[in-house]
Amino acid sequence: MPKIVVLDSSTIGRVSKDYWSTEKSDRDKAHVFLERMKELGIFIAFTWTHVSEIIRHGNTQVVRDRRKFLHNLPLIAWIRPYSNHWFPGSFVDVLLRELHAVVHASAGTFTEIVEEVRPKLWETGMGSEMFVDNDKFWSEIRFHSELARERDKYVASVARTDPGQMKNVKLADVSNIPIRPREERKTYTKQFVREIQEQIDRHGDKCFGYAREAAFDLANDAFLRTQCYVNDEESHRELLESLGVPPESVSSEMTIGEIGALGVYARQLSILANGLCPPMDLTIRDVPPDTLPSIVLDRELTEIQRKALRVSGSDLGDSSIVPLVLYSDGVEVDKRTHEFLSQIKYDGLSLDTIMRKFFRSSDYSLIPERFER
């Protein structure tokens, strides 16, 4: 296996800036860095997230410079899409390969899954093979990347909310909560919107400018879903079935937040299974929530991120990169993510034995030394 290092998008941007700088010292620094990486046989890794973050800079000239810089890279690696398309794959492709390893290669442990997936996950080559000279193509990529950034702000901000303060309520206590009469629910929706908007303003992405619209959408969806809701065991069972959660997977001591997470996983698993070759129909019974290591790592990271006073749309980008700590020789992360990963590594979640190097770097020129040692 080649040595593969996943750099932060901001670091790649800094190297590109120095590479084209008018200052000779900056240019020399960038060229020496690339030469040292080449001498050590280190491939700089790319995913869809990297490409998206690099290409969506607001300055068109900066984007062009970055494209030319990436075109000139001597050694690059990228996630091979599960569909075997040539463009860099994403976190979804990692999950598809892990699921494939479980259902088609009978991989049963985290170690077995990683050993099965890693040799098939990476494609290697030169920058000129991936970052081709095609203005129209990259213009489309940039447009969709900008849309993705706004979507990430929305998702991160809304996911941080806790409408009605229900996430920590145990299922056993739900039956004791009085149900608001139907004729009062529509009036209460306005208060519900205000509550969600306040939470988004307080804890959401600082640059998210649609807190009221997002709050209204969430409240309206909740209102439509609960119009005919009755607080009894039969309704609870029907709700679990609609989420794709088997009743035997739920206990009375579980919280609403935990049950919701099971529902998210069930939906995620259904989508992934449909993307397998050939497509399959899989449920939580077939692939329990703690089966795929990247999902477990992502879940733990997301749980910590959501406890932060304020979230960011970039958290989703971090979550899509961090699982590569299982499949590369090193992943560069920021200070906050480094702290989160350190916490996960030493929390005894069976991930510590398969997690490889993750590191922070204030000076990219020192990165080669880490791997030379």
pLDDT tens for the chain, 373 residues long, are: 789 999 999 999 999 999 999 999 999 999 999 999 999 999 999 999 999 999 999 899 999 999 999 999 999 999 999 998 889 999 999 999 999 999 999 999 999 999 999 999 999 999 999 999 999 999 999 999 999 999 999 999 998 898 878 889 998 888 788 777 777 777 788 888 999 999 999 999 999 999 999 999 988 887 777 666 666 777 778 888 888 999 889 998 999 899 999 999 999 999 999 999 999 999 999 999 999 999 999 999 988 888 888 888 888 888 889 999 999 999 999 998 999 999 988 876 688 889 999 999 999 999 999 988 6
Domain-located, residue 61: yes
Same domain, 117 and 37: yes
> Is 337 domain-assigned?
yes
**288 is a domain residue:** no
Residue 132 sits in the same domain as residue 190: no
- Separation CA 128–CA 72 (nearest Å): 6
Number of folded domains that form the chain? 2
Per DSSP, the three-state class of 21 is coil
> Are residues 60 and 140 part of one domain?
yes
**Residue 283 maps to a domain:** no
pTM, rounded to two decimals:
0.90
Residue 272: its pLDDT value, please?
97
CB 122 within 8 A of CB 80: yes
Q: Are residues 177 and 145 in the same domain?
A: no
Same domain, 215 and 243: yes
Considering the domain architecture, whether residues 140 and 12 belong to the same structural domain is answered as: yes
Q: Which residues contact 267 (CB under 8 A, 6 or more apart)?
A: 243, 244
Domain boundary among 224, 259, 275: 275
Q: Inter-axis angle of helices 256-275 and 293-305, to 10 degrees?
A: 140
CB atoms within 10 A of CB 76: 21
Closest CA to 314 of 10, 4, 7: 10
Residue 281 falls within a domain, yes or no? no
Which residue range(s) make up the domain with 124? Answer: 3-152+313-372
- Residue 284 falls within a domain, yes or no? no
Residue 305 counted as domain residue = no
Spatial distance between the Cα atoms of 200 and 194, rounded to a whole number of angstroms: 10
pLDDT at 349: 64
Please, which residues bridge with residue 6 across strands?
331
Domain boundary among 249, 275, 301: 275
- Last residue of one domain, picked from the residues 246, 275, 304: 275
Contact 94, 117 (CB under 8 A): yes
Residue 286 forms part of a structural domain: no
Q: E strands, 53-139, where?
A: 76-79, 122-125
Phi and psi torsions of 112, nearest 5°: -65, -40
Euclidean distance between CA atoms 35 and 59, whole angstroms: 28
SS3 call for 172: helix
Using CA atoms, how far apart are residues 236 and 234, in angstroms rounded to an integer? 5
